[in-house]
Amino acid sequence: QVQLVESGGGLVQPGGSLRLSCVVSGFLSDYYASGWFRQAPGKEREGVSCVREDKKFYQESVKGRFTISRDNAKKTTYLEINNLEPDDTGVYYCAAAGWITTVQAMCRYPQVEYWGQGIAVTVSE
């Protein structure tokens, strides 16, 4: 059974930084895709960044500020967020899939099989 557990959210001032973590358990190998999605208040969920092996995708609005990474030994996918903006506020969801076409497709369509419970990030003074 695949499970995803997020941590690291909270209240941050504009310009601050945050690192989200997602422990992904249950896959039989490390050849799975994982990523982060977010849902801002009143908006649809959108793909922020997705990764599989050395392939990474970033939504245009977060390029240069967000960094996705994985530590397969710890079964953890990270999202480092720098220079936070109020528009980054929302619930962030970890996602994973055993099969995808591309990391871009995972984030855009989305191609997701498993979701985490979501974690809130609030950017405010």
Q: Give per-residue pLDDT as tens, 45-101.
A: 999 999 999 999 999 999 999 999 999 999 999 999 999 999 999 999 999 999 999
Chain-centroid distance of CA 5 in Å reads 12
Q: Degrees (nearest 5) of the Cα angle 111, 114, 118?
A: 105
- Per residue in 7-36, pLDDT tens? 999 999 999 999 999 999 999 999 999 999
CA distance 24 to 74: 9
